[in-house]
Structure 1
């Protein structure tokens, strides 16, 4: 535990303690190391999930949904490509 200098203490029910101790035994880790790593992993996951969330104003979200619902409009490049296709492909 090189570098560990701060303490974090919490109370658990006897059932939770037994659960944590059993899991630590099964993983071959001391209870403290098991509980610490579990807390660190959960903290990292919560932070990742929080940072992965994009928040936008309601108006932006409404405009985005309206754009999804609107009929697609071809771009000039797509219209040109379609015209070239009609000129070069002979349909029989």
Structure 2
């Protein structure tokens, strides 16, 4: 089932922008309304997609993460045991 477009969106343009849109719409055999609507919808989709894939964290969390990544690694007990097991496996072969 197709839903008919009924909402309106109006805006003003500079004359040269209007001429470019009209020319481009004519080249692809679309009405200026369809051309402008499609362009606006595609741009909205791009912006929404970009914002949905970005993870926003507080600045102090991000700074703490960067400090942790820059710090010298300090192996914990589990990591030391895993390294010993790995050495034993490699040395036996």
TM score, norm. by length of structure 1: 0.74
Residues 1:55 and 1:86: Cα distance change in structure 2 (over 3 Å): closer
Tell me the CA shift for residue 55 of structure 1: 2.2
Aligned positions, number: 90
Aligned ranges 1:1-92 → 2 under 5 Å:
3-87=4-88, 89=91
**RMSD between superposed Cα atoms in Å:** 2.4
Residues 1:69 and 1:26: Cα distance change in structure 2 (over 3 Å): same
Residues 1:82 and 1:42: Cα distance change in structure 2 (over 3 Å): same
- Residues of 2 paired with 1:26 and 1:60: CA distance? 50
Tell me the CA shift for residue 12 of structure 1: 1.3
